């Protein structure tokens, strides 16, 4: 909607002001101009602009300062900075302060119109997804997805599009990127939403066990089985089965899953009979399954059956726009419980979150925010509170506090595990963390080893 877009040009150079105004008017945008940073900010307070074009080098209030103020007062205005002798540092600084892009001089009408068009398009997407929360979920809940990056908006659109169909979906992405969350969102938005959503962690089971787990067991199968057992496929009947870490299953089980997909019938281990089953399959992998298929490590036909609709979630470091909103989201989620006094992040803390590479993706960010909440002493999270993630050089206070925290957390988890008889799902739900996070913490704190040492039988959840 170019006609409705409102653009502001702030430049002390009259030729740029006039040239830009003409170029933008020709492209159909409503344009205002200001001769100084001060005047520009004043206009910004009087009316709302979709895009502001700001010269970096102006007498009086400089461009970076104007940018910072605009982003502070009108975060929804996209700012494009014009750089004179395109110094890399100032361009980088401008981007860090939230500029949408920069335009080196000389400014040509074509380049200006193009960059404004892109900024507007991007802004439209961002506003649409101001929260994927709004795009996807009516009510915020434990599985709410947030994000404003174009990549996540595409994911959200795919989810909406594919949910109502029964198409098999293969979700791929690095660990902690949100694959399970996407799978749950698909189920929630599908016609099967009232039916069960059953998760199978294919990564944690050996092949000999996974068959029974998936397909069920007839009485007397495997010698030891005295009771017939219902498999996950049967439990998911009418609903959705989520096959997590599908890349880990061996060839024999691959064939059996393929058969369920093709025949829509189940055969229990140790039984010769088959029964009909109606499940929607969503699979997830953090490996490059396509490559493994080409290399012959994964059955080609199964790969194609699973990836009818592939959804890839990019790693968090490739969609840094999401970091801020995710951090706020986790603050809202964990704040009341971990440290109700904290109201937000300091600007420096946010910046260090945005600069970190997050090899553990959203889960790592979630853990970092939760821990920072416990470490924070005032009402803002400071860079030093993000210490355990190695985001900043550790202070003594941080390290000591982290030690206390770890001990308290270890005890809390051990207690909860005891209370729920080591049922991972129940314990995780009680603690308000994901199963995966719980497993990581069990491992980190050596809880399973301690338990075995006390002679209790190991039970997988
Ligand atoms: N877009 C998002 N919005 C809100 N929370 C998210 C988002 N993406 C991920 N999370 C949270 O991050 C954590 C990890 O997500 P999830 O378990 O879905 O990742 P995953 O890709 O399945 O990881 P893994 O490969 O380790 O199994 C969860 O607590 C989840 O709620
Ligand atoms: Mg997962």
Q: Per-residue pLDDT tens for 57-99?
A: 888 899 999 999 998 887 778 999 998 765 677 777 888 888 8
Distance of CA 42 to the CA centre of its chain: 37
pLDDT of residue 383: 86
| Other residues' Cβ atoms within 10 Å of the Cβ of residue 449 | 11
CATH of domain 317-453: 1.10.8.60
- 33: helix, coil or strand? strand
Distance, CA of 162 to CA of 175 (rounded, Å): 23
Distance, CA of 250 to CA of 214 (rounded, Å): 13
The overall longest dimension of the chain from CA atoms, in Å, is 89
Distance, CA of 233 to CA of 196 (rounded, Å): 10
Q: For ligand 1, pick from 362, 432, 441 the residue to mutate: most ligand atoms within 8 Å of CB.
A: 362
pLDDT of residue 181: 94
145 CB within 6 A, ligand 1 = yes
pLDDT of residue 3: 44
Architecture of the domain delimited by 135-312:
3-Layer(aba) Sandwich (3.40)
Distance, CA of 193 to CA of 187 (rounded, Å): 6
Residue of higher predicted confidence among 407 and 364: 364
CATH of domain 2-128: 3.40.50.2300
Task: Identify the residue whose tokens are 């170029």.
Answer: 23
Length of the chain measured in residues:
461
Q: For the chain, what percent of residues have pLDDT higher than 90?
A: 39
Distance of CA 114 to the CA centre of its chain: 30
Distance, CA of 146 to CA of 134 (rounded, Å): 9
| Other residues' Cβ atoms within 10 Å of the Cβ of residue 351 | 15
Q: Name which residue sits closest to atom 2 of ligand 1, judged by CA.
A: 145
Which atom of ligand 1 lies closest to the CA of 433? Answer: 29
**2-128 and 317-453 share one CATH topology?**
no
200 CB within 6 A, ligand 1 = no
Q: Is the pLDDT of residue 227 over 80?
A: no
What is the residue extent of each domain of the chain? 2-128, 135-312, 317-453
Q: Measuring CA to CA, how many Å separate 359 from each of 291, 316, 363, 394?
A: 22, 8, 10, 19
Distance, CA of 294 to CA of 409 (rounded, Å): 44
Which atom of ligand 1 lies closest to the CA of 145? Answer: 3
Q: Is the pLDDT of residue 43 over 90?
A: yes
Cα separation of the two ends of the chain? 53
DSSP string, 184-230: HHHHHTSTTTTS-EEEEEGGGS-HHHHHHHHH-B-TTTTTT--S-B-
Q: Name which residue sits closest to atom 26 of ligand 1, judged by CA.
A: 175
Q: Name which residue sits closest to atom 16 of ligand 1, judged by CA.
A: 178
- 242: helix, coil or strand? strand
Q: Which burial class, exposed, middle or buried, applies to 452 when counting CB atoms under 10 A from its CB (0-12, 13-18, 19+)?
A: exposed
pLDDT of residue 144: 81
CB 173 within 8 A of CB 181: no
Distance 178 CA to ligand 1 centre (A): 3
436 CB within 6 A, ligand 1 = yes
Distance, CA of 348 to CA of 381 (rounded, Å): 9
Distance, CA of 368 to CA of 388 (rounded, Å): 8
Measured N-to-C along each axis, helices 179-188 and 150-162 cross at an angle, to the nearest 10 degrees, of 40
Distance, CA of 174 to CA of 443 (rounded, Å): 20
């Amino acid at each position: 909607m170019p006609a409705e877009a409102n653009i502001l040009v702030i430049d002390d150079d009259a030729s740029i002001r006039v040239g830009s105004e003409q170029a933008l008017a020709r492209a159909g945008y409503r344009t205002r101009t200001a001769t100084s940073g001060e005047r520009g900010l004043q206009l910004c307070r009087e009316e709302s602009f979709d895009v502001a074009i700001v010269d970096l080098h102006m007498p009086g209030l400089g461009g970076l300062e104007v940018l910072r103020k605009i982003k502070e007062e009108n975060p929804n205005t996209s700012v494009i900075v014009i750089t004179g002798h395109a110094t890399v540092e100032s361009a980088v600084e401008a981007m860090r302060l939230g500029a949408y892009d920069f335009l080196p001089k000389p400014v040509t009408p074509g380049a200006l119109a193009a960059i404004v068009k892109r900024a507007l398009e991007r802004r439209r997407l961002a506003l649409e997804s101001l929260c994927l929360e709004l795009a996807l979920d009516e009510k915020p809940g434990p599985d709410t997805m947030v994000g404003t990056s174009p990549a996540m908006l595409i994911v959200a659109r795919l989810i909406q599009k594919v949910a109502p169909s029964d198409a098999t979906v293969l979700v791929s992405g690095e660990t902690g990127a949100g694959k399970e969350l996407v799978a749950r969102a698909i189920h929630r938005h599908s016609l099967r939403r009232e039916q069960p959503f059953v998760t199978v962690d294919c990564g944690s089971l050996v092949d000999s066990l996974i068959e029974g787990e998936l397909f069920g067991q007839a009485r007397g199968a495997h010698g030891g089985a005295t009771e017939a057992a219902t498999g996950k496929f049967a439990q998911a009947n009418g609903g959705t089965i989520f096959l997590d870490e599908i890349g880990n299953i061996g060839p024999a089980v691959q064939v059996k899953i393929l058969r369920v997909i093709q025949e829509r019938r189940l055969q229990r281990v140790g039984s010769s009979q088959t029964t009909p089953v109606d499940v929607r399959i969503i699979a997830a992998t953090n490996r490059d399954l396509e490559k493994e298929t080409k290399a012959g490590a994964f059955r080609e036909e199964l790969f194609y059956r699973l990836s009818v609709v592939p959804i890839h979630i990019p790693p968090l470091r490739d969609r840094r726009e999401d970091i801020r909103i995710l951090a706020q989201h986790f603050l809202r989620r964990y704040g009341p419980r971990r440290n109700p006094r904290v109201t937000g992040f300091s600007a420096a803390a946010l910046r260090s979150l945005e600069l970190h590479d997050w090899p553990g993706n959203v889960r790592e960010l979630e853990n970092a925010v939760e821990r920072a909440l416990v470490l924070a002493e005032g009402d803002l999270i400071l860079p030093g509170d993000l210490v355990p993630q190695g985001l900043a050089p550790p202070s003594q206070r941080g390290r000591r506090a982290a030690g206390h925290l770890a001990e308290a957390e270890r005890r809390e988890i051990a207690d909860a595990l005891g209370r729920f008889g080591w049922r991972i799902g129940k314990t995780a739900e009680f603690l308000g963390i994901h199963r995966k996070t719980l497993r990581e913490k069990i491992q980190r704190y050596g809880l399973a080893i301690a338990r075995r040492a006390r002679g209790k039988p190991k039970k997988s959840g």
